A and B are shown apart, each in its own frame.
Chain A
Amino acid sequence: MNRLPARSARKQFRDSFRSHFDHALRISLPMLNQQLVAIVSRTLNVDPSTVTPETSPENTAAWDSIGHLNLILELEEEFQVRFPTEQIPQLNSVARLQEAIAQQSG
């Protein structure tokens, strides 16, 4: 597996995210970070092309409570972030995950 070093991943994420928010209109569904998509796909065994901002436990079989924690721990490792306990259960869609990572990385 070809993994980027965490710090540069974080920076890359931040940059890509900022570019959307700083320069474009504040659209509700920003372009998905490809690294996030890759982790969601890998952790929940879904095809990356099917991952959308609305991907969530409701429409993804492997996204159960354990799948959720697996996903959270993978994302934390990859982006070098740490979500507070109470926030973790609320991160129940790819869009919310992306937003939370961006907040932490910023």
Chain B
Amino acid sequence: MTDLRVALLSSSTVELLERPLTAALEERGFTASLWTAGFNQYRQEILNADSPLYRHEPDVVVLYLDGEDVFRELLQNPFGTAAARRHDAGSNLAEELSELVRILSERLPRATIILNTPPIDPVGAVTGLEYNSEWGIQEAVGAYLSRLRAIAAESSSVIVVDVAGLAASIGFDTWRDPRMWYLARARLSRRAMAALALAYASAIVARMGRIRKCVAVDLDNTLWGGIIGEDGFEGIKLGEDGVGRAFAEFQEELLNLYRKGILLAICSKNNPADALQVIREHPGMRLREEHFAAVRINWEDKASNLRNMAEELNIGLDSFVFLDDNPVERTWVRESTPEVLVPEWPADPVDYKRTLLELSRHHLQKLKITAEDRKRGELYKAQAARRKLESAGSSIEEFYRALEMKIRIGRADQFTIPRVAQLTQKTNQFNLTTRRYTEAEIRVAAEDPSTAVFWLELTDKFGPSGIVGVLILRMSGLGKWVIDTFLLSCRVMGRTVENAFLAAALREVDATHVVGEYRPTAKNSPVKDLYARLGFDAADANGDAQVWSLDAPATRLTVPDWFEVSVSESAAGSQRAQAIP
């Protein structure tokens, strides 16, 4: 469980959201400490620098603005605002919000600020007039929304939750409970609050990078209709017509997950030759072999296969979602590998796509797509090729040389900050301190002249891996540095990249003395002895943490000669420019 300080602010009474939000966050691994502002107090709380909001020191600020509050004047009397002024009215409302967000993020540079699209009752005084006369209100709403989008684009601290869309999916009649308005100046029904709490919790999980990484699917009656071993290549249902189309569209949604950087895998009890023929040749298939990072088509039990793939892909079992139409398999996997998320699966294939989308909303949600996300599937494929090479080579050094590795290091800048933050949030195994940082926090560190935030990019003969390492150094004295964060993506573990990274970065900052720390977690035991291996001397323990130090790293740490190292000058230059006002 992770502690999370949350501030709730709203244009209406929002205390009733506390219980469902706390419960939803708890379900996702967060112990929330909540502070809630009174009815419509959000402006005062944000503007007053000494307000309880700032004293609460929130990690997350949820500012819920209801459509009926934001557009109150327009909704109360749509005929009182001249048609020509509606667009401006919407922009002005968003402009005020933009100013509040600016103040918030200035005073809470590390906090995530959650805004929302404002839900508005689709039934109103302008129904009929909306698109047929000049009296509509949607023009004002549109202007507000386009400014809202800009606010989120301008600041990496801000995320927007589409609450208007959520209200539409529940149905507006269910969304509202008018009794709450007259009794307590609250807007939402119990069901709406439960759904909103879940949406906020899912956005926070996405923001913290705690989503699942891989969807493993069964084949028969999951990716296609029927059983390939019985119905044969011609007999399975998959394609343009009838229920076959539902399977094709379900595959298309899986393909969209792949495009967003979620790994796909196959876990099926089948004759491999039959199943692979469908995957390679069937005209109805939307997914092909290249989209799957790992494939297990055999008669082994599925929990063992999943364990096996977790090892192959070097991700935890708790990163997996497993989809199977067969309730017996689901129960088996749930019981044998409880870390794997195994959702209940609908009996009717026409519901597959929607079930996947619902699941994605909560467990596979992305708020941004990085360059690494776009090609993650391919990266994992290349990984398999590397493994083959490793087992072919006669010595480990030969393997390293055969990889033809090139590394490039640089300082975090506006282009690399999102990926650096993402890595701190999701790297578990090769992570010495497991400090999780948001983009805003990385930005603060990158602009701090006494802190150096390095990223590492790796390319080898199988192609680029992108940014796969982060090293954050904090200066503790002249030439003296403390390693705040040192992590590598699990994809590049076991290739001595850490030696090269640390040696090259310490050379960049002219370090004469460096202190490192190992903070044990449930998952980072692979790096327990890293500093000893790199020649550091053991110093005192600091609570749970083991502290290590190294004098004269320039002479005692070297880049292994199978690496080609370069330093990204442009990033270093812009970093220096930022550091000197």
Least Cβ distance of A29 to chain B in Å? 28
Q: Which residue of B lies closest to A66 (CB)?
A: B15
Give Cα A76–Cα B190 distance, bound, in whole angstroms.
10
Give the most central of B15, B179, B186, B190: most A CB within 10 Å.
B179
Least Cβ distance of A72 to chain B in Å? 9
Contact B16 A85 (CB under 8 A): no
Contact B184 A66 (CB under 8 A): yes
Contact A85 B19 (CB under 8 A): no
Interface status of A106 (Cβ within 8 A of chain B):
no
Interface status of B152 (Cβ within 8 A of chain A):
no
Q: Which residue of A lies closest to B194 (CB)?
A: A77
Contact B184 A65 (CB under 8 A): yes
Q: Which residue of A lies closest to B190 (CB)?
A: A73
* Residues of B in contact with A, size category: 10 to 19
- Which B residues are CB-close (under 8 A) to A74? 190
Contact B182 A69 (CB under 8 A): no
Interface status of A89 (Cβ within 8 A of chain B):
yes
Give Cα A74–Cα B190 distance, bound, in whole angstroms.
8
Contact B179 A88 (CB under 8 A): yes
Give Cα A88–Cα B16 distance, bound, in whole angstroms.
16
Least Cβ distance of B170 to chain A in Å? 15
Interface status of B180 (Cβ within 8 A of chain A):
yes
Q: Which residue of A lies closest to B15 (CB)?
A: A66
Q: Which chain B residues (164-222) contact chain A, with CB distance < 8 Å?
A: 178-180, 182-184, 186, 190
Known: A73-B190, A76-B190, A77-B190. A89 touches B183 (CB 8 A): yes
Give Cα A65–Cα B39 distance, bound, in whole angstroms.
13
Least Cβ distance of A41 to chain B in Å? 14
Interface status of A70 (Cβ within 8 A of chain B):
yes
* Residues of A in contact with B, size category: 10 to 19
Of the candidates B15, B19, B183, B186, the one whose C-beta lies within 8 Å of that of A88 is B183
- Which A residues are CB-close (under 8 A) to B182? 85
- Which A residues are CB-close (under 8 A) to B183? 69, 85, 88-89
Contact A69 B19 (CB under 8 A): no
Q: Which residue of B lies closest to A64 (CB)?
A: B15
Contact B179 A66 (CB under 8 A): no
Q: Which residue of A lies closest to B186 (CB)?
A: A69
Q: Which chain B residues (4-57) contact chain A, with CB distance < 8 Å?
A: 15-16, 19
Give Cα A88–Cα B178 distance, bound, in whole angstroms.
13
Contact A66 B16 (CB under 8 A): yes
Give the most central of A65, A76, A77, A85: most B CB within 10 Å.
A85
Least Cβ distance of B23 to chain A in Å? 11
- How many residue pairs between the two chains, A and B, have CB atoms under 8 Å in the bound complex? 23
Least Cβ distance of A85 to chain B in Å? 4
Give Cα A70–Cα B21 distance, bound, in whole angstroms.
13
Q: Which chain A residues (32-77) contact chain B, with CB distance < 8 Å?
A: 65-66, 69-70, 73-74, 76-77
Give Cα A65–Cα B178 distance, bound, in whole angstroms.
17
Give the most central of A65, A69, A70, A89: most B CB within 10 Å.
A69
- Which A residues are CB-close (under 8 A) to B190? 73-74, 76-77
Give Cα A65–Cα B19 distance, bound, in whole angstroms.
14
Give the most central of A74, A88, A89: most B CB within 10 Å.
A88
Contact B19 A70 (CB under 8 A): yes
Give Cα A73–Cα B15 distance, bound, in whole angstroms.
13
Give Cα A88–Cα B180 distance, bound, in whole angstroms.
10
Give Cα A77–Cα B183 distance, bound, in whole angstroms.
18
Q: Which residue of A lies closest to B19 (CB)?
A: A70
Contact B184 A70 (CB under 8 A): no
Least Cβ distance of A39 to chain B in Å? 13
- Which A residues are CB-close (under 8 A) to B16? 66, 69-70, 73
- Which B residues are CB-close (under 8 A) to A88? 179, 183
Least Cβ distance of B195 to chain A in Å? 14
Least Cβ distance of B20 to chain A in Å? 10
Give Cα A85–Cα B186 distance, bound, in whole angstroms.
13
Give Cα A73–Cα B179 distance, bound, in whole angstroms.
11
- Which B residues are CB-close (under 8 A) to A85? 178-179, 182-183
Q: Which chain A residues (63-106) contact chain B, with CB distance < 8 Å?
A: 65-66, 69-70, 73-74, 76-77, 85, 88-89
Give Cα A69–Cα B178 distance, bound, in whole angstroms.
13
Q: Which residue of A lies closest to B177 (CB)?
A: A73
Give Cα A63–Cα B19 distance, bound, in whole angstroms.
14
Least Cβ distance of A69 to chain B in Å? 6
Q: Which residue of A lies closest to B180 (CB)?
A: A69
Q: Which residue of B lies closest to A77 (CB)?
A: B190
Give Cα A104–Cα B307 distance, bound, in whole angstroms.
53
Q: Which chain B residues (488-512) contact chain A, with CB distance < 8 Å?
A: none
Cβ contacts A2-42/B at 8 Å (1 or 0 each): 00000000000000000000000000000000000000000
- Which B residues are CB-close (under 8 A) to A89? 183
A sample of 11 inter-chain contacts (CB < 8 A) reads A65-B184, A66-B15, A66-B184, A69-B16, A69-B180, A69-B186, A70-B19, A77-B190, A85-B178, A85-B182, A89-B183
- Given A66-B16, A66-B184, A73-B16, 17 extra CB contacts under 8 A: A65-B184, A66-B15, A69-B16, A69-B180, A69-B183, A69-B184, A69-B186, A70-B16, A70-B19, A73-B190, A74-B190, A76-B190, A77-B190, A85-B178, A85-B179, A85-B182, A89-B183
